[in-house]
Amino acid sequence: MKKILLGLLLTSLLLSCSGVFKLKEPGPLDLPGWRSFRGDAQNTAYVSSPVAAQLELLWKYDAKRPLKSSPITVGELVVIGSVDRRVHFLDAFSGKERGVYKTSSSVSTSALSQDDRIYFGLDQGKGTFYALDMREREVLWKRDLGGMSSSPVACRKMILVGTTDGTLRALDGLSGENIWEFKTSSVISTPAWRVSPVSTSDEKIVCFGSADGHLYALDAEDGEMKWKFEADGAVYSAPAVKNGKVFFGSFDGHLYALNLTDGSLVWKFRTEADVFSSPAVAESLVYIGSNDYSVYAVNQQTGELAWKFETGGLVRSSPIAVGDKLCFGSYDGNLYVLNRFTGSLLWKYQTEGMISSSPAYLDGKIYIGSEDGFLYCFGS
């Protein structure tokens, strides 16, 4: 009898740890989407698609607890993690819950979608980084990487992600095995990668910031450092790479532009407070928020101010450029939509909580979380 009970117990444990998660049919996953924190592997946070100047609330989803992470869109799904120890899968058009994955810790960073897989990390605990198969609706693998502090990004078949212990890792997207790792101080900055503008060998460069005040550039193949640049404060901002330059903010209050090839300073622009926000880069301008309650638009080539827009709270939300609009949140609880060329206010919406989440875009719609516990969808 004891053997039978033991067998039933082991079977129960195996079933409970089988890795299957509850998700209704995910629908098409190969549609264009906002598949990572900043929309692409270069962290430019820019799409040329239009969005209406005057938006309206299409739906909102009650996650019950504050939303600090930023959503991504995958085909017909919106995916966002929460402090309620869940990753929520929603219908992008109706806001109805399509599934949920329960975790052992809160989720404050964004997920990543690549090749029908979702990758996400937990704030703390064991088994903190996951790969989910969206088609089969099961856990492919998970790794114990400690606290996750940056959002993952895909570099071809590798997944790049930083942790609170100061490690940037390159993982095999299929197996989760380490390809290489680089040690520094706490990595909150989401990495970006780009093919070198001067190499003839398709050399890929990975850029990321660290709490030690440096912006690092590594060889994506082996993780060897190519160069580093020292700012005067921690670099939590996710760097954006465009036109041979790297743009990022620092807690020293500056927005920086560096040469991608050697890390030399092109220019720096001073705001009036710490910069936690990540830049968006579109055409001739780069946009960034600051803890001085403002968003800035700066000329990419010269570092000169194009315009400044003031809100009623800290701007830790990272702006996204959609067509001729700029969208971002503020600690004053508003989602703002500006004309990105002039900085003039086109529309805003007041939520009931601070907004530290950054927007995502899909098919003319803007998605953003608020610390009031709701995920909002706006469109026309």
- Reported as a single tens digit per residue, the pLDDT across 229-242 is 999 999 999 999 99
The dihedral region occupied by 333, where left means phi > 0, alpha psi between -120 and 50, and beta the remainder, is left
- Strand boundaries in 220-341, DSSP class E: 225-230, 240-242, 245-249, 254-259, 265-270, 280-282, 285-289, 294-299, 305-310, 320-322, 325-329, 334-339
pLDDT band for 13, please (50, 70, 90 cuts).
very low
**d(Cα 323, Cα 62) in Å, to the nearest integer?**
29
Of the candidates 37, 327, 36, 234, which has an alpha carbon nearest to the alpha carbon of residue 248?
A: 234
Helices (H), 200-324: none
**d(Cα 289, Cα 302) in Å, to the nearest integer?**
19
pLDDT-wise least confident of 113-122, 207-216, 268-277:
113-122
pLDDT band for 73, please (50, 70, 90 cuts).
very high
Indicate the pTM of the whole model: 0.91
pLDDT-wise least confident of 147-151, 196-200, 292-296, 327-331:
196-200
- Reported as a single tens digit per residue, the pLDDT across 23-65 is 777 776 666 789 999 999 999 999 999 899 899 999 999 999 9
Instruction: Give the mean pLDDT of the chain.
Output: 91
Task: Give the chain's domains with CATH numbers.
Answer: 19-379 (2.130.10.10)
Tokens of 328: 């971002």
**Average pLDDT rounded to a whole number, residues 347-371:** 97
- Reported as a single tens digit per residue, the pLDDT across 299-335 is 999 999 999 999 999 999 999 999 999 999 999 999 9
The answer to whether 159 and 170 are in contact (CB under 8 A) is yes
pLDDT band for 18, please (50, 70, 90 cuts).
very low
**Average pLDDT rounded to a whole number, residues 237-253:** 97
pLDDT band for 19, please (50, 70, 90 cuts).
low
According to the model, what pLDDT value does residue 161 have?
A: 95
The answer to whether 58 and 51 are in contact (CB under 8 A) is no
pLDDT band for 195, please (50, 70, 90 cuts).
confident
- Reported as a single tens digit per residue, the pLDDT across 92-137 is 999 999 999 998 889 999 999 998 899 999 998 777 899 999 888 8
